[in-house]
Structure formats: C-alpha cells, structure tokens
C-alpha cells in the first residue's frame, strides 16, 4: 500500500438511477493509476464488451494518478479518460484520451482518485462535486451553451461569480475549507450534445480530451459537464525528497528563462522549443507572442508551461495542432478565432484539421459544391476567409450541410460519400489506421504507426519522435547541425530505454522491419501505458530520453527520475523493469478488451497509401545504411505489405500472443497475473493458443 499520492476513493456514479457509491482505490492500486485503473474498472464493471460506445452500459472512467495535484514535474496536471470510443473506424475500440489543466488536481483535493460514470440520465444533467458533497444537477439552462459559456455559468453557480478571485466557503461552516479557485469543469459543447463521433471534452480554455469522441459519449449519457472543487490534501510520502528532486530536475534539464543554455537563434520562434523546452512553445509555428502581448500558461504543477494566454483572450491555453486548425487566410487573429470557435463547439481538432483542406481539394475538382456529388452550400469559394471556417465548424457542431455527415467522423463521412477507398489509396485522405488522421509518416516512423495499428488510435506519444525526427528537422530549419549525430542519438535513446540496441532506432528500409525495431515498439507500448497514461506524466516532458539543455552527453531524466519521483510521492520502490512490466500488464488488459470486442490480426492493417504511395518529401530520421549511420531523407519509401505482416507475427510472439490471430494466450496472461482475463477470453472462444 502506498503511503502517499492516492486519496483513497473512486466515485462511481450511475446516471440512470442517480445513485453513487465509493469504490476504494486500494482495490485497484496495483494498476498504478490513470489508464491502468480505468481499464481495470472497465474490465470488471462492463460485462458485455461488445456494446456500442453510445450504449448506456458504456463505462467512462476519468482518472487521476498518484502524481496529480502534487509538485511532481509535468505529471500533476493530466487526467486520463477511458471507455468505448465512438470515433474509430470501422470499429470504435475501447480507447483512451487525456487532457491537461487543473482538473485532476482538483479531483484529488475533493477526495477522489477518479470517477466512473455509468448509465444515462433521462434528461440533461451536470455533476457537481464540492468535496464530499456530490449532486446530480439539472442542466436545462446549460444545454445548448458552448464549452466556455458552460464553464462560466457553472462557476457562477458554484462560486457565486464567473470570475471571483477571493476566498469562498465550500460548506456552510468554515471547517469545510475555503478556496480562491474556480471549480475545475470538464464539459461538452454543441457537438457533444448532438452525439458527434468527433466531439471532445473541454476543460478551461483549451484543454481537450479529443480523440475517441468522448464528447459524443457524454452527450449520449445526457451528461453536459462535471464540476469539481476541493479543499483537501494529497499526501506525499517524502515531501523533502519530492521538493529536492523537482529542483534538481529543473536545474539540470529545465529551460532557464533568465539565462538559457540553449536559445532559439531567431526571436519569437516557438518551434525551437521542441529542442530546449522554452515556455509557450506549444503554439508551434506561430511564435509565442502571435503578434500581441502574451504570457506562457501551464497546467497545474508543470515546469515547462508550454501554452499561452493572449491579450485578445482568443486561443488561450491552446496546444499544438489545436492552434493549427485553420490558417488559410494568413491572418493570425483569424487563425486564433478559428481555434477558439472549435474549442467552444467542442470538436476534436485532430479529426477535422486536415478535412477542410481535403474537401477544398475535392471542391476544386468539382466533386464538392452546390448540387455536386458531395452536395454542400458552404462558401467553398471563400475557403481562405474566416467566414468559411466559421461556417464549416458550425456545420459540424450543429449537423447541417455536410456537417451532418462529418459529425460521424471524417472517415465515416468519406465512406458514405464514396471517397474512402479512393482517397486513402492515393493518400489525399491521409488516415493510415482506425480512421485517425495521420500524425507522423506511417511509412517511416514506425514505432508510431505500428504502435497505433496494434492499439486503438493514433498513439500521440512523442517521446522518441521529438529526438529522431524533430531535432534534426528543427536544427536544419535554423541552418544548424543536429545536436547529436544519428548514431549518438540512436545509442542514447537505446540506452535510456534499457534496450541498449541502437538498431531499434534505425528507420532505414531494412531497419523498420528488424527485431530490434519490434522490441523498440514493445518498449514504447509498455512505458507509455504505465508512466504516461497511468501515472499521468505529460507527453511534452516525458519520457525525457535526451535533454539538450543538459551536459555534453545530453543525458535526460529518463530512466532515473521516474522511479525517484514515484518513491518520493508514494513511498514505494519500483524498479525500472517492474514499471515496464506493469505497463505490459495494462497493455495486455487493453488487448484483451479489444479481442473481446472482435479484434483479429487481419484488421490490423494500414490503408493503401501507406503501402502503395512512396514518400516524396525529405523526412529526417536516423538510418543505418551501407554500414553507416546518418540522418536519411527517406524519400521514395513505402511500407511492404508482406514484411509488415511478418513484423506483426514477430511482434505478437514477443508479446506472447497467438501469432495466427493476435490473441493473448493463457501462458502470457498467466505470467502477468491475468488468469481472470484469460478465463473471460476463453469463455468467449477468443483465447490465443500458447506457443503459436
């Protein structure tokens, strides 16, 4: 049992009958936190895993980690969401998303390690958590409001004002505690209310749980929002150790804002932050200031503070692609307004940000337009004006014009319009797997694409990608040499992961099919399932395989700091190896759920462009070719179908899954203490055969 980190209770709510109960966290503590506990709760509480995401029996878990609400650097602010998704195509898998901000800390301060939401309310409701007082409130006056309006109305209800900044009493008497804070709210906008498959959950200005369509799942439960405020304490096993470790980490690896060791050679360039981690770099291509005064803005407990708040108040808190939603007018204020509109409507940017460009291309071909094959009266001729993106975004949110089809997710819309096969074959619609938009080149960055197709979604885990792709790309963009040679980079990453074979980070035409690569993919699945998704360590800081601010060898905080932080907070010792094994356990549990949902190896394939269309643009990645390491340009590359199938077979064997179908085996699950999972698979006739 941990001596710190957990606060002891998981709040289970049944929206159908309005009942609540407490599940002791101790029953699930062995799963770590976050996604691990969320998946375990799902496995236990949802008997029929084949149900649809919109089914009231779908359990949505919203989980903190032991690190939430503590000083653990860039691990205090994330909240993990689990449940059967509605976005993925053709089968919406049990999936996960997460979001930043201050929700997880607040939930811990209120006394809960997580929430488990079952059932469906018979009319729109919101959940109001004030310490141990939990009420299910009528959301009649909130339904129809956008995500920002919803939060302001809830703050006015809970704290007495939309922007109070004074002490307020949480209960009738002073012993209930006081706070100066607004409640932390997670809500849906019009898109979620309409049960859109690409609707997100939104918290504060721009923290979104985007992928998976959980906004639509909330909508199907008639759940408009969850508000939480607490005044309790999160225990820390060794506060002095946590304090000292945090200071050491900041000093060695952080960006010193007053005297940085590495600084962007061009003022105001966000992109360089991928290398040195300066505050506000999450607005990427804009530059931090976006032509107006601004400040960096960060999630609770972060030491990087990657977002921004602006003088206009638009696009506050936006992060990465969220801010890149639409930029066709070339006017930054309009780009910011588009992002804010998207956030207010509550739409997952990652599903739609390529879509308007793809459709505009079809418009130019005469396929989209009034009376055309894809009938649309949106102002396509004014694509590079704000009026267009406003109309496009609202059409999706409210289900009008082609928004009616796009509300089912871009993949389903493409299928309905007869464009899915042709455009994913040419690459015009770059959705490599499960109907998710391409993130990095699936033909090249294979621990990303393999990890995605073997899983449930686009992985969105940058720990390796920052170094193998972005570092050489950004340095090159600034006409600088890479900070590490390709060989040194591959060696450093392999050392930090514990794999110790640099060939795991060889992205050559041979390297992407090697045993070493498969081991690297497996490491990535296991690390991320535990440290990132169960312990809440943020993707923009962890794993820290390399750090460019630190020393000549650029050694990062991984793997030594994660167990140190874990010990300081929980009081428990956890070896690096044991942590990866826990990640493997959680990954296997997820796999079992997918198998129960109907997963078979034949489905784990990419769309045609990945195999048939060669890369055309230079894409730096370390490659070992002709006996030497270099940063290759990797042009003319595609994935070989047969070789990928062989990779799949070898990956399954490595994970002790039946290689004929990809199903976990009794032997494999037994080693992980998952005999009960094996039994359920067996009962469903889906247990893999040992040794196959």
Where in 89-148 is the site for another protein (CB under 8 A)? 102, 105, 109, 148
Stretch that binds another protein, among 296-304, 419-427, 469-477, 521-529 (CB under 8 A): 296-304
Spell out a b/e string for 239-275, using b for 16 or more CB atoms within 10 Å of the CB, else e.
eebbeebbeebeeebbbeeeeeebebeeeebbbbbbb
Among positions 207-246, residues that touch another protein (CB under 8 A) are: 230-236, 239-244, 246
CB of 70 to another protein, least distance (A): 5
The angle that helices 576-597 and 34-45 make with each other, rounded to 10 degrees, is 40
Report which of 340, 328, 339, 322 is spatially closest to residue 385, judged by C-alpha positions.
Answer: 328
SS3 529: helix
Instruction: Count Cα atoms within 13 angstroms, Cβ side, for 502.
Output: 15
Nearer residue to another protein within complex by CB, 304 or 532: 304
Quote the CA–CA distance of 497 and 478 in Å, as a whole number.
29
Stretch that binds another protein, among 65-73, 324-332, 363-371, 522-530 (CB under 8 A): 65-73
Write the CB contacts of 510 (distance below 8 Å, at least 6 apart in sequence). none
30, 35, 37, 41: CA torsion to nearest 10: -150
Each residue 145-164 as x (binds another protein by CB under 8 A) or -, in order, gives: ---x--xx----------x-
Quote the CA–CA distance of 133 and 257 in Å, as a whole number.
42
If one asks whether residue 682 binds another protein (CB under 8 A), the answer comes out as: no
Nearer residue to another protein within complex by CB, 234 or 486: 234
Nearer residue to another protein within complex by CB, 25 or 508: 25
CB of 35 to another protein, least distance (A): 22
Nearer residue to another protein within complex by CB, 269 or 508: 269
Among 191, 201, 294, 521, which residue interacts with another protein (rule: CB under 8 A)?
294
If one asks whether residue 522 binds another protein (CB under 8 A), the answer comes out as: no
Nearer residue to another protein within complex by CB, 87 or 283: 283
Any alpha helices (H) in 346-485, and if so which ranges? 349-352, 355-364, 386-398, 403-406, 410-416, 420-426, 446-454, 465, 471-477
Nearer residue to another protein within complex by CB, 243 or 478: 243
CB of 280 to another protein, least distance (A): 6
Count of residues interacting with another protein (CB under 8 A): 79
Each residue 167-186 as x (binds another protein by CB under 8 A) or -, in order, gives: x------xxxxxxxxx----
Among 293, 357, 551, 598, which residue interacts with another protein (rule: CB under 8 A)?
293
Each residue 394-433 as x (binds another protein by CB under 8 A) or -, in order, gives: ----------------------------------------
Each residue 306-335 as x (binds another protein by CB under 8 A) or -, in order, gives: ---xxxxx--xx------------------
CB of 207 to another protein, least distance (A): 9
Using CA atoms, how far residue 558 sits from 72, 341, 375, 493, 542, in Å, is: 14, 38, 52, 10, 8
Write the CB contacts of 628 (distance below 8 Å, at least 6 apart in sequence). none
CB of 475 to another protein, least distance (A): 18
Nearer residue to another protein within complex by CB, 62 or 299: 299
Residues in the chain: 692
If one asks whether residue 297 binds another protein (CB under 8 A), the answer comes out as: yes
Nearer residue to another protein within complex by CB, 152 or 515: 152
CB of 645 to another protein, least distance (A): 46
Among positions 66-85, residues that touch another protein (CB under 8 A) are: 69-71, 76
Among positions 250-289, residues that touch another protein (CB under 8 A) are: 250, 254, 256-260, 263-264, 267-270, 278-280, 287-289
The answer to whether 126 and 139 have CB atoms below 8 angstroms apart is yes
CB of 68 to another protein, least distance (A): 9
SS3 448: helix
- Classify residue 547 by its DSSP letter: -
As a whole number of Å, the CA-based R_g of the chain is: 24
If one asks whether residue 304 binds another protein (CB under 8 A), the answer comes out as: yes
* 307-316 contacts, C-beta under 8 A, 24 or more apart: 307/206, 307/280, 307/282, 307/283, 308/280, 308/282, 308/283, 309/205, 310/336, 312/336, 314/339, 314/340, 315/206, 315/283, 315/290, 315/339, 315/340, 316/205, 316/206, 316/340
If one asks whether residue 573 binds another protein (CB under 8 A), the answer comes out as: no
Each residue 190-209 as x (binds another protein by CB under 8 A) or -, in order, gives: --------------xx----
Using CA atoms, how far residue 328 sits from 18, 325, 333, in Å, is: 47, 10, 12
């Amino acid at each position: 049992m941990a001596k710190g980190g957990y606060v002891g209770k998981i709040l289970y709510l049944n929206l159908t009958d309005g009942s609540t109960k407490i599940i002791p966290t101790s029953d699930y503590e062995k799963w770590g936190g976050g996604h691990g506990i969320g998946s375990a709760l799902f496995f236990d509480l949802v008997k029929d895993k084949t149900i649809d995401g919109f089914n009231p029996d779908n359990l949505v878990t919203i989980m903190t980690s032991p690190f939430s609400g503590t000083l653990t650097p860039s691990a205090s602010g994330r909240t993990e969401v689990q449940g059967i998704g509605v976005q993925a195509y053709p089968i919406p898998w049990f999936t996960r998303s997460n979001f930043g901000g201050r929700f997880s800390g607040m939930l811990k301060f209120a006394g809960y390690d997580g929430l488990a939401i079952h059932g469906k309310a018979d009319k729109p409701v919101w959940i109001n958590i004030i310490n141990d007082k939990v009420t299910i409130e009528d959301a009649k006056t909130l339904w129809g409001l956008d995500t920002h309006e919803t939060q302001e109305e809830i703050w006015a209800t809970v704290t007495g004002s939309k922007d109070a900044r004074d002490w307020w009493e949480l209960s009738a008497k002073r012993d209930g505690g006081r706070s100066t804070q607004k409640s932390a709210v997670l809500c849906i906008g019009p898109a979620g209310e309409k049960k859109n498959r690409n609707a997100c959950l939104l918290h504060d200005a721009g923290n979104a749980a985007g992928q998976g369509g959980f906004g639509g799942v909330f909508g199907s439960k008639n759940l408009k929002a969850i508000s939480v405020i607490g005044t309790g304490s999160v225990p820390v096993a060794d506060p002095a150790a946590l304090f000292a470790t945090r200071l050491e980490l900041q000093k060695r690896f952080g960006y010193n804002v007053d005297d940085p060791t590495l600084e962007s050679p061009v003022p105001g360039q966000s992109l360089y932050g991928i290398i040195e981690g300066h505050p506000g770099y999450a607005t990427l291509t804009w530059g931090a200031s976006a032509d107006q005064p601004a400040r960096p803005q960060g999630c609770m407990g972060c030491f990087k503070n990657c977002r921004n708040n602006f003088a206009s108040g638009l696009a506050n808190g936006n992060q990465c692609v969220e801010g890149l939603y639409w930029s066709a007018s070339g006017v930054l204020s309009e780009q910011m307004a588009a992002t804010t509109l998207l956030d207010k409507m509550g739409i997952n940017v990652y599903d739609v940000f390529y879509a308007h460009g793809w459709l505009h291309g079809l418009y130019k071909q005469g396929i989209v337009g009034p009376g055309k094959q894809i009938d649309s009266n949106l102002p396509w001729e004014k694509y590079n004006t704000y009026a267009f993106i406003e109309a496009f975004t609202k059409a999706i949110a409210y289900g009008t014009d082609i928004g009616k089809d796009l509300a089912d997710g871009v993949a389903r819309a493409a299928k309905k319009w007869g464009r899915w096969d042709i455009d994913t074959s040419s690459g015009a619609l770059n959705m490599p797997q499960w109907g998710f938009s391409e993130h990095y080149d699936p033909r090249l960055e294979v621990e990303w694409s393999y990890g995605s197709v073997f899983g449930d979604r686009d992985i969105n885990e940058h720990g390796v990608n920052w170094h193998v792709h972005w570092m050489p790309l950004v340095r090159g963009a600034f006409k600088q040499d890479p900070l590490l040679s390709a060989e040194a980079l591959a060696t450093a990453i392999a050392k930090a992961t514990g794999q110790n074979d640099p060939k795991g980070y060889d992205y050559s035409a041979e390297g992407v099919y090697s045993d070493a690569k498969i081991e690297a993919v497996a490491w990535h699945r296991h690390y991320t399932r535990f440290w990132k998704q169960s312990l809440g360590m943020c993707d923009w800081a962890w794993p820290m395989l390399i750090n460019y601010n630190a020393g000549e060898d650029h050694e990062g905080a991984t793997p030594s700091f994660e167990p140190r932080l874990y010990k300081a907070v929980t009081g428990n010792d956890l070896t690096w190896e044991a942590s990866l094994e826990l990640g493997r356990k959680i990954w296997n549990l997820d796999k079992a759920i997918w198998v129960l949902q109907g997963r078979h190896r034949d489905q784990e394939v990419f769309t045609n462009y990945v195999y048939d269309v060669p890369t055309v643009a230079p894409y730096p990645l370390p490659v070992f070719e002709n006996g030497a390491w270099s940063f290759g340009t990797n042009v003319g590359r595609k994935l070989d179908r047969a070789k990928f199938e062989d990779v799949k077979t070898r990956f399954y064997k490595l994970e002790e899954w039946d290689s004929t179908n990809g199903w976990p085996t009794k032997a494999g699950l037994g080693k992980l203490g998952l005999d009960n999972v094996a039994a359920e698979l067996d009962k469903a006739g889906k247990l893999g055969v040992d040794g196959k």
